[in-house]
Structure 1
Amino acid sequence: MTSTPRPSILVLSLLGATTGMLSGLFGIGGGVVLVPMLVMILGFQQRLAAGTSVAAILPAAVVGGIGYAVQGNVDWIAAALLAAGIIVGAQIGSFLLSRVPTGFLRWMFMAFLLGVVISLWFVVPQRDASIEITVLSGALLVVTGLITGVLSGLLGVGGGVVVVPILMFFFGASDLVAKGTSLIMLIPGSLSGTIGNARRRNVDLRAAVALGISAAVLSPLGSVIATHIPPFWSNVAFSLLLAFILGQMFFKELRKKR
C-alpha cells in the first residue's frame, strides 16, 4: 500500500474550511477543489485523494443540506431518487477506482464542465422554479444519480458539480433548490462510496475526519450567503469556479503528456 502523507491538523482544517464554504455556496460537496489540493499541496496519491475526499464530504453535506432544508430549498423526492442512483453508482465507482484507467473519463468530464461553464452565462434559473416529478423525470433522476455516483467514486468529485447544473437546466429547478437537493443527495452517496473505498484502503480516515469537521463549520454559512446572491451572479460565481477547476484539470493532463 502507498504510504499515507501525514499533514498537520491545522493545514487539513484550513483546506476543509475552504471546502465547506464552497460546499455551502454552490451545493457541490467541495471534492472538485479538495482532490487537486490534496494531490498538489499535500502530495496525496490520486486514488487516496479521491477516496479521502468522498469521506470528507459527508459532514459538510449533512450540515449544509440542513441549512438549505431549513430555508425550504430542498426537493426531498428528487433527492431520494438521486440518492437511490448514487448509492449504487458510488459502489461501482469505488470498485472501478483501482481497476480502470481514468484518463479518457477525465477528458469527457472536462468537456462536460466546459459545456456547463458556457451554459451558465445564458441560462438563469428562476428562484420560484421547481422540479416536476413524473414517471419519466423520476427515472431520469435515478439515472442521473447512478452516473453521478460512478463519477464520484472514480474522480472523487462528490457529484454536486454534475447534479446542480443538471437539475437547473434539465429538470427546471431553481439554483437554491438544485444546491440544497444536491447536498442532501450527497449524504448517502458519501456513505456508500466511503464504505467501498475503506474496504479497498483508498481513504485516509484521519485526514477525512479533520477535513470533514472543519468543512462542516463553514458549510452552513455558505448556504446562508447563497440565498442573498441573485441567481445571475450565483451563476457567474459558479461558472468561474468550474472554469478554474477545468483549467487545473486541463493543464494537469497536458503535463502528463510531456
Structure 2
Amino acid sequence: MNPLLLILLGLAVGALTGITGSSGVLVVVPVLTFLGYSFQEAVGVSLAIDVITTTSVVYAYLRYGDVKLRVAGLMGVGAVLGAQLGVRLALYLNPTPLEIAFSLFAGIMAVVSFRRSIKGVKLDNISKVRRGWLALPLSICVGVLTGTLGTSGGIMFIAIMMMIYSMDVRVMIGTGTLAMLLSALSGSLGYAISGNLDLATSLIIGIAALGSGYLFSKLAHRLRPSIIYASLGTVFVITCLSEVIRLIRM
C-alpha cells in the first residue's frame, strides 16, 4: 500500500471532521474498498481513524469552550447501547426500510442546513435545552443505524442537536465529535476483537488526520456560521446520495 496515498487520505479525513464534525467513513470506506480492502476491514479502519482524529478535534473545540460534556456523554452512551442492539437486530431485520428512512432524513437535514446557511439562526440562549430528554432515545436510534447499516454516527449527532437544542453551530460540532469519539471507540474495539482491523493502515491515516483535524478545527472558529452550515448541508447531501446509490445497487 502506498503510504503517501494513505497520508493524503488522512489529511482529507481530518479536514472533514475538523470543520463539520462528521465521520471519515464517507471518505475512508469507499477509498479503501477501491484499493482492495474488504468492507468489514474498511469500516474497522474508519472507526479506528475516527477515534484518533476526534481526540485532537475535541481538544481544539474544548479549548474554545465549545463542548457540552453532559450532552456528549448522554448521546455517546445512547449510541453505544443502540449499536449493540443494532448488531443483534441486523440478523433479523430487512435493512431496506431503514436505509430508505435514513436517506430521507439525511435529505431533510440537508435542506435544514442550507436554509440556516442562507437565513441564519436566532439563538434565544446558547445553553437553553428544548426537549433535551429526547437526546438519549434519538442517540439510541443512531446507534441502531450504525449497528445495522454501518452508517456514520458523527453527522447524525449534529442532526439531533439541530432538532432539539438551541446551540451555536460550533458547539454542536464539538459536542457531536465527542459523542462520536465514544461510539467509535466501542465500534473499533468490536472490529479489533473480530480481527477486522488493520492497525498499520489505521495508524498511518489516523496520525495524518490527527494534525489535519486540529488545524481545521481552529479554522472552523474563524469561519462564518453560514459557511459551516453550508458545509454540513453538503455532507448531508453526500450521505443521502450514498444511501440512494447503495439502495439502487441492491
Tell me, yes or no, whether TM beats 0.5.
Answer: yes
Q: Do 2:9 and 2:28's aligned partners in 1 also have CA atoms closer than 8 Å? A: yes
Q: Do 1:94 and 1:196's aligned partners in 2 also have CA atoms closer than 8 Å? A: no
- Counterpart among 82, 103, 110 of residue 110 in structure 1: 103
| Deviation larger for 244-253 or 158-167 | 244-253
Q: Does 1:221 align with 2:212?
A: no
- Counterpart among 76, 79, 89 of residue 72 in structure 2: 79
Q: Which residue of 1 aligns with 2:238?
A: 244
Compute the displacement of 1:218 (Å).
Answer: 0.4
Partners of 1:232 and 1:148 in 2: CA distance: 26
Q: Does 1:132 align with 2:125?
A: no
Q: Report SS of the residue matched to 1:217.
A: helix
Partners of 1:60 and 1:155 in 2: CA distance: 22
Partners of 1:10 and 1:150 in 2: CA distance: 35
Partners of 1:52 and 1:69 in 2: CA distance: 26
CA distance 1:129–1:200, change in 2 (3 Å): farther
Partners of 1:126 and 1:74 in 2: CA distance: 20
Q: Matched residues, percent identical?
A: 26
Q: Report SS of the residue matched to 2:115.
A: coil
1:1-258 pair list within 5 angstroms: 7-39=1-33, 41-94=34-87, 102-123=95-116, 124-126=120-122, 129-133=125-129, 137=132, 139-254=133-248, 256-257=249-250
Compute the displacement of 1:95 (Å).
Answer: 5.2
Q: Do 1:51 and 1:156's aligned partners in 2 also have CA atoms closer than 8 Å? A: no
What is the number of residues matched between the two proteins?
Answer: 247
Q: Deviations over 1:104-146 (max 9, x none)?
A: 4332221111111111122344578524358x52x32222222
Partners of 2:244 and 2:179 in 1: CA distance: 28
Compute the displacement of 1:154 (Å).
Answer: 3.9
CA distance 1:60–1:125, change in 2 (3 Å): farther
Gaps of 5+ in 2: none
Opposite residue 186 of structure 1, the aligned amino acid is M
Q: Report SS of the residue matched to 1:146.
A: helix
Partners of 1:237 and 1:114 in 2: CA distance: 14
**Cα root mean square deviation, aligned:** 2.5
Partners of 1:36 and 1:190 in 2: CA distance: 18
CA distance 1:26–1:130, change in 2 (3 Å): same
Gaps of 5+ in 1: 1-6
Compute the displacement of 1:70 (Å).
Answer: 0.2
CA distance 1:74–1:252, change in 2 (3 Å): same
Q: Do 1:125 and 1:231's aligned partners in 2 also have CA atoms closer than 8 Å? A: no
Opposite residue 102 of structure 2, the aligned amino acid is F
Compute the displacement of 1:155 (Å).
Answer: 4.0
Q: Deviations over 1:38-88 (max 9, x none)?
A: 22x323332332222112100111110110110111111111111221222
